């Protein structure tokens, strides 16, 4: 999953353009991710201020 550091983000939109899954929603006040995110990490590399991090999760819960 992707984690956003709100204090660093300047809403430039570079991550939105870099996302191949169209998984990032951005407006003047909100940056959010939807379930289409594949954890590819391209947005993390695209961010010029290091506001995004890719968090590796283990022990993923399988939906019932």
Rg of the chain in Å (alpha carbons): 12
Binding residues for ligand SF4 restricted to 5-64, rule: CB under 6 A: 9-15, 18-19, 21, 23-24, 26, 31, 33, 37-43, 46-47, 49, 51-52
Shortest reach from residue 43's CB to ligand SF4, in Å: 3
Shortest reach from residue 61's CB to ligand SF4, in Å: 19
| Cβ nearer to ligand SF4, comparing 26 with 58 | 26
Given a contact cutoff of 8 angstroms between Cβ atoms, the answer to whether 45 and 18 are in contact is yes
Q: What is the 3-state secondary structure (H, E, C) of 12-31?
A: CCHHHHHCCCCCEEECCCCE
């Amino acid at each position: 999953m992707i984690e956003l550091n709100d204090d660093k983000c300047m809403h430039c939109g570079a991550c939105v353009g870099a996302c191949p899954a169209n998984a990032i929603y951005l407006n003047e006040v909100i940056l959010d991710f939807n379930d289409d995110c594949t954890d590819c990490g391209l947005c993390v590399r695209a961010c010029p201020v290091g506001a995004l991090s890719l968090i590796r999760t283990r022990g993923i819960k399988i939906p019932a």
